[in-house]
Structure 1
Amino acid sequence: MLRNVKLISTTLLAVMMLVMAGCSSIATDSAEGNKQAVATSAESQSTKSADKDTMAKMVVYVPRDDGKGVRPQTITVDSDKKTLKYAISFLFDEDSRQSYPVFPKNVTVKDVAIKDGIARINLSKEFLEGGNIDGLSAQLRLASIVNTATSFDAVKKVQLLVNGETIKTYGGYDVSEPMSRMEQQIVK
């Protein structure tokens, strides 16, 4: 009988040790799982925060189809794309999707330089193509470019160039000097 008690006690002790070891493992796994969940949650928050940090808003001024001015359009882009060159290029693309686009097809931004508050925007030769540019089309084009450029903090005035050369007049407008923001053309 003593032998049976020893056998039962030993068996019971072995089972208890297995149960304890299993519980300990579960507790450890559970604790590690919680640590991983917390870490994953923190990484997720960090990623979301980083995504917010990598996005930026900017405003482009698109010509209205009714010819009554330009309308502001806020867009969200990757922070590295928040450049004046990208904004003007986006403006040209957006205008091409309008019912009545005002910019010539295939006009591109060759380069942009900002110095002392003046943005020198160098456009491709297509900007001057398309025959006789009427006053309204010229006004909408200039208002779109100038207002988009001056929506950037570093830009106070805009000088337009075509193929690196300053242009004197455009659709009856004197553009030989840097142009200031054209608030009167903005229609919300």
Structure 2
Amino acid sequence: MRKVKLLLTFTLAIVSIFFLVGCNILDGLVKDNGGETPLSQILNRNTSSDDTVAVITNPEQGEQTVKLYFADKNGELLIEESRTIPKTLSLARETVNQWLLGPSGATDSYPVVNPQTTLKDIAIKNGIAIVDLSKEFLQPYSNVAAETALYGLVNTLTQFATVEIVTIRVEGQEIKTYRSLSTDNLRYRADIVGYSAGSSVDKTNKPIEAADESSVDNADSHNDSSTADSATASPSAINLFGS
């Protein structure tokens, strides 16, 4: 009888040892897999916090509302349209590209230049915006007057705090006239603006900062006309790049 008890005790001890060893092995496998299971919870062993993978989210891209100037149905006055575009380091460049795309269609305004016109380059320096456009810019479009087309571009660019004067190039060559109109000292003109279309126009006239585009021959600072006086002032009275 004593031998039977000893044998039973020995057998239970062996079974207990194998059970505990097996649990430790299984729990080690669980930890190697980087997860947490009921087994590890029972044994009060949690996986390492180093296994946690952080989730990185990108911030939402901001937006900017700009003003684009198009023609009225008679092609004689400018219609101001507000458009919201993604913020970009090249805000002036994107604004001109949006202007070349034409009106949104939600307003009673019309394109002022040939839709095939493309922006080749743009630079802003010392208050002067130098814009290089394709040859289609010189072509009359629909019933739009030359003055309306020219100042559609000028007024669109001079909304920026860093632009007082606009100089225009076509296919890399500076033009002195645009369909018989002088292109010297092109500044914002309020008298040619008919009305504002769209309810999102910024009524405060807060200056918008445009990125300093460094191309177009580094903006050719030979345009000394930036210091010339003009009877019609631009709404952008602040020059962040100095004179």
Instruction: Select the structure that is richer in helix.
Output: 1
1:17 aligned onto 2:21: yes
1:124-165 deviation digits (Å, cap 9, x = unpaired) = 221121279644x642x3444224323444323212233412
Using structure 1 for the length normalisation, give the TM-score.
Answer: 0.68
- 1:74 is matched with which residue: 52, 64, 84? 84
1:34-69 deviation digits (Å, cap 9, x = unpaired) = 6454x332xx23xx13x64xx664625152665661
Q: Who wins on radius of gyration, i.e. which is larger?
A: 2
1:74 Cα shift? Answer: 1.5
2:70 matched residue in structure 1 = 63
2:133 matched residue in structure 1 = 123
Name the CA distance, whole Å, in 2 between partners of 1:5 and 1:151.
Answer: 94
Using structure 2 for the length normalisation, give the TM-score.
Answer: 0.55
1:168 matched residue in structure 2 = 177
Name the CA distance, whole Å, in 1 between partners of 2:104 and 2:63.
Answer: 23
1:106 Cα shift? Answer: 1.4
Q: Secondary structure at the match of 2:82?
A: strand
8 A contact 1:110–1:122 mirrored in 2: yes
1:83 Cα shift? Answer: 4.4
Residues 76 and 4 of structure 1, relative CA distance in 2, 3 Å threshold: same
Q: Secondary structure at the match of 2:23?
A: helix
Q: How does 1:1-188 map to 2 (within 5 A)?
A: 1-26=5-30, 29-30=34-35, 35-37=50-52, 39-41=53-55, 44-45=56-57, 48-49=58-59, 52=61, 57=64, 59-63=66-70, 69-76=79-86, 79=88, 82-93=90-101, 95=102, 98=105, 100-130=110-140, 134-135=144-145, 138-139=147-148, 141-163=149-171, 164-170=173-179, 174-180=182-188, 182=190, 185=193, 187=196, 188=201
8 A contact 1:96–1:103 mirrored in 2: no
Residues 160 and 26 of structure 1, relative CA distance in 2, 3 Å threshold: same
Instruction: Select the structure that is richer in strand.
Output: 1
1:70 Cα shift? Answer: 1.9
**Structure 1 stretches lacking a partner, 5+ long:** none
Q: Give 2:94's aligned amino acid.
A: Y
The CA RMSD over aligned residues, in Å, is: 3.6
Q: Give 1:129's aligned amino acid.
A: Q
1:32 Cα shift? Answer: 5.5
